[in-house]
Amino acid sequence: MAAEAHDNEDPKEAKKGSPLIKIVILVVILAALGGGGFFAYGKFFKKAPAEGDQGQTAAAPPEKQVICDWDPMLVNLADPGGKRYLKLGMKLELNNDRVLEEMKNRSFQIKDAMLMVVSSKEFDDIATPSGKQALKQEMMAQMNKIVKQGQVKDIFFTDFIIQ
Q: Report how far residue 84's alpha carbon sits from residue 117's, in angstroms, rounded to the nearest whole number.
A: 15
Flag whether pLDDT at 52 surpasses 60: no
Q: Do residues 46 and 94 both lie within one domain?
A: no
Q: Do residues 154 and 86 both lie within one domain?
A: yes
DSSP, residue by residue, the chain:
-HHHHHHHHHHHHHHHHHHHHHHHHHHHHHHHHHHHHHHHIIIIISPPPPHHHHHHHHHPPPPPPEEEEEEEEEEE---TTS--EEEEEEEEEESSHHHHHHHHHTHHHHHHHHHHHHHT--HHHHSSHHHHHHHHHHHHHHHHHH--SS-EEEEEEEEEEE-
* pLDDT at site 24: 86
Q: Do residues 16 and 50 both lie within one domain?
A: yes
Domain span including residue 142 = 66-162
- pLDDT tens-digit profile of 60-84? 566 678 999 999 999 999 988 878 9
Q: Do residues 87 and 124 both lie within one domain?
A: yes
Q: Do residues 85 and 39 both lie within one domain?
A: no
Q: Which residue has the higher pLDDT, 123 or 7?
A: 123
CB atoms near residue 106 (< 10 Å): 18
Number of domains in the chain: 2
Q: Do residues 74 and 137 both lie within one domain?
A: yes
Q: Do residues 87 and 71 both lie within one domain?
A: yes
Q: Do residues 22 and 70 both lie within one domain?
A: no
β-sheet with 85-94: strand ranges across:
66-76, 85-94, 152-162
Residue 117 belongs to domain with CATH number: 3.30.479.30
* pLDDT at site 51: 53
Q: Which of 59, 74, 106 is the last residue of a domain?
A: 59
Flag whether pLDDT at 9 surpasses 80: no
- pLDDT tens-digit profile of 92-120? 999 999 999 999 999 999 999 999 999 99
Q: Which residue has the higher pLDDT, 162 or 43?
A: 162
Q: Do residues 36 and 93 both lie within one domain?
A: no
Stated pTM of the model: 0.60
How confident is residue 48, by pLDDT bands cut at 50, 70 and 90?
A: low
How confident is residue 43, by pLDDT bands cut at 50, 70 and 90?
A: confident
Where does residue 113 fall: left (phi above 0), alpha (psi -120 to 50 degrees), or beta otherwise? alpha
* pLDDT at site 136: 95
CB atoms near residue 99 (< 10 Å): 23
